[in-house]
Chain A
Amino acid sequence: MEVEKLYQTLNKIFDTHEIHEIGLLPYQNTQPNDDYYPFFFIESNLGIPLEYVDKLYKYAHGIFMKVRDCGSDGNNETVKLLKDSTRCIVIINTDCYSALNARKKLIIDNHINPIKELKFIDLLFTFPKHTKHSTIWFHRKWIIQQHVPSDDISWQHEIDITRRVAELYPKNYYAWTYRHWILLKISDDSLHSQSFFVDELKIMKIWVQKNISDYSGFQHLQRCLIRLSQYYDNSFSDFYGISRKDILEKINTKLQNQGLKNKDSDSIVSLWYKEIQFTKDLILRYPGHESLWYHLRFLSFVWIWLKLAGYLNNSIGFKFDTDRETDEKSHNSIVKKWPELENELEFSHYCIRQIDLTINQDNDERFESMIIQKQNALAFELWISELNDRTKFDIKDLIVKLAEISIDSNYYIVQNNK
């Protein structure tokens, strides 16, 4: 088939239809007399047969090379050639810098409507591979920052896009980084931003429950918690670059949190306390997921920091801790314990006891996830012990235990090199 005709057909589809999704097809299932042959256009979804991709790309690239020097100052005809050829190039290869730069120039010169360009990127993101290029994400950011009036930006739509992208291509670094960036673009001083952070937090709590082994989600959830805390107290730390060493140094020189209203301080404490309960519940419910334990580590870290920074006032523990009288052995009461050191240790012991009970009871294939759970519980205990400056004896003892059950870990190496 003649490539010029092919290219024209593709442009015609784009110029006359709204398209929902694009895909590359490893087959061809249209007839020469069908509309838009050989493209497969069904229910507003456009399929491009793989065998024509090469030809199309070369052809479009050829046109682009010819007209790009005329730039967008040229006449209407060259502008149209430039728009169409770069569109075709980007559909096939979103990583083409020159094409995207040409399109930026077209936006600056008002030949491409920035809102339409965002829609076009939405479409590109329906093809999973395209979402793994930083160039196209940068293109999106650039449009939003430079060419869309801030009142016209729908941040909710931006969130929805990253949600879908992370579903089509899980653990997508670019999508999550973009989503973190959205949180930072929302200012932390209005009621509207509070509701935005609260909603995003809700969405993320549901999301992580459905993707419990994907730490990218937990990381974003952490950012939501931080942003919401910053809404209550704008001096609240973003925890970049704060390490365990900093905490240990501060343990003896308590920082005092000055001037914060009790109500705001309580909101912050309650927020993190609830998150700790939520995470412990997930850990007990779904044993053997490292991501959950890492999330708990982050939360415990923040908790100690809250203590050092003076957010945890004397009586506050009793205000939230209402379930002291309930059955001590139940899952629920373990989860709800006030997260101070001895209760955190108790949580870890509780997890280990549960595992030992199950393993003795039946020897089936859940064994592996149980071992992982036990390793993680011990590692958590070790971690929080070090964070709280527990005695060297306890720590050594924990390393011995960890080495026993995880022969492929560093603990084993440390233990056996001595």
Chain B
Amino acid sequence: MKIYSLSIYSKNYNEEIIRLAAEYDLSSFGFFQRSTVQDIIMVISKTIAERTTPGQRQRVEEQPYVGYVYARSDIPLTGVIITDEEYPQRVSFSVLNKILDEFLIKFPQNDWDKSNTISYPELKTYLSKYQDPKQADQITKVQEQLDETKQVMNRTIESLLQRGEKLDDLIDRSQEISFQSKAFYKQAKKTNSCCTIS
């Protein structure tokens, strides 16, 4: 029952996705894996956010991670939470609702385009607080009924990608991630284990 990452995205005037804020908790990985896992999660999160239309909620699986994404319908703002397979879906969407609402109150839309990232330290606090899903219970209760009626699309990364596209290629082409991470990822794929060499 772990949250690995929380991140918030918007789109710029070119309709390209931009990351406004992101936090990671990778303490369960070893020193040499941590940066690779972070890079992979970053690419997965961005890919998911990019491929979610306004108003949509999706659950996206890419073992051993599960990503939940919610794109607001009123404004171009999307939240992504990456968890393990145990973390409850209901709680994940509540957390996303909460952080997007709060983010909007703190930062008006005009502020977003000026820089790519916004300092939003509360995100780190939420990331550690909601590691225990019971902590999210109060916010969950308020939103439960709302969530109950909304459809959640169940997806895998492959089904989100366009024909001929592959996650491996996206990772290989990404300019944001280091060559070390790319090497780790390739090696891990060979031994069929994510981000560790064994």
Taking beta carbons and an 8 Å cutoff, which residues of A are in contact with B? 20-21, 23-27, 29, 43, 45, 47, 50, 126-129, 167-168, 209-213, 285-286, 289, 361-362, 364-366
CA gap between A127 and B179 in the complex, in Å: 21
Q: Which residues of A contact B131 (CB under 8 A)?
A: 210
Question: Does any Cβ of A come within 8 Å of B31's Cβ?
Answer: yes
Question: Does any Cβ of A come within 8 Å of B29's Cβ?
Answer: yes
Given contacts A209-B1, A212-B86, A365-B59, contact A23 B31 (CB under 8 A): yes
Q: Which residues of B contact A50 (CB under 8 A)?
A: 187, 197
Q: Is the CB of A128 within 8 A of B198?
A: yes
Interface size on B, residues (CB 8 A): 32
Taking A25-B183, A45-B32, A126-B30 as given, write out 16 further A-B residue pairs in contact, using a Cβ cutoff of 8 Å, ordered by the A residue number.
A21-B31, A23-B31, A24-B197, A25-B32, A26-B187, A27-B184, A43-B31, A45-B31, A127-B30, A209-B1, A212-B1, A285-B134, A286-B88, A361-B148, A364-B151, A365-B154
CA gap between A364 and B193 in the complex, in Å: 31
The A-B contact count (CB < 8 A) is 71
CA gap between A129 and B193 in the complex, in Å: 11
CA gap between A289 and B85 in the complex, in Å: 11
Q: Is the CB of A26 within 8 A of B186?
A: yes
CA gap between A167 and B1 in the complex, in Å: 12
Q: Is the CB of B28 within 8 A of A167?
A: yes
Q: Is the CB of B30 within 8 A of A21?
A: yes
Q: Is the CB of B148 within 8 A of A362?
A: yes
Closest to A43 in B: B31
Given contacts A24-B197, A362-B148, A366-B89, contact A210 B2 (CB under 8 A): yes
Q: Is the CB of B1 within 8 A of A128?
A: no
Q: Which residues of B contact A126 (CB under 8 A)?
A: 30-31
Q: Is the CB of A47 within 8 A of B1?
A: no
Q: Which residues of A contact B143 (CB under 8 A)?
A: none
CA gap between A61 and B184 in the complex, in Å: 27
CA gap between A127 and B85 in the complex, in Å: 24
Q: What are 16 A-to-B residue pairs whose CB atoms are below 8 Å?
A: A21-B32, A23-B30, A23-B31, A23-B33, A25-B32, A26-B187, A43-B31, A45-B32, A128-B30, A129-B197, A167-B28, A210-B1, A212-B1, A286-B86, A289-B86, A364-B151
Q: Which residues of A contact B85 (CB under 8 A)?
A: 213
Q: Which residues of B contact A211 (CB under 8 A)?
A: 1, 86
Chain B residues 67-118 with CB under 8 Å of chain A are 85-86, 88-90
Closest to A127 in B: B30
CA gap between A47 and B32 in the complex, in Å: 8
Q: Is the CB of B86 within 8 A of A364?
A: no
CA gap between A362 and B57 in the complex, in Å: 15
Q: Is the CB of A364 within 8 A of B180?
A: no
Q: Which residues of B contact A361 (CB under 8 A)?
A: 148
Q: Is the CB of B149 within 8 A of A362?
A: yes
Closest to A168 in B: B30
Question: Does any Cβ of A come within 8 Å of B17's Cβ?
Answer: no
Question: Does any Cβ of A come within 8 Å of B196's Cβ?
Answer: yes
Q: Mark B143-167, 1 if CB is under 8 A from A, else 0.
A: 0000011011110000000000000
Q: Which residues of B contact A212 (CB under 8 A)?
A: 1, 86
CA gap between A45 and B131 in the complex, in Å: 27
CA gap between A210 and B196 in the complex, in Å: 22
CA gap between A196 and B197 in the complex, in Å: 36
CA gap between A320 and B142 in the complex, in Å: 33
B185 to chain A, nearest CB (A): 9
Interface centre among A25, A27, A50 (most CB of B within 10 A): A27
Closest to B198 in A: A129
A327 to chain B, nearest CB (A): 16
Q: Which residues of A contact B86 (CB under 8 A)?
A: 211-213, 286, 289
Q: Which residues of A contact B152 (CB under 8 A)?
A: 364-365
Q: Mark B121-153, 1 if CB is under 8 A from A, else 0.
A: 000000000011010000000000000110111
Q: Which residues of A contact B180 (CB under 8 A)?
A: 25, 27, 29
Q: Is the CB of A27 within 8 A of B183?
A: yes
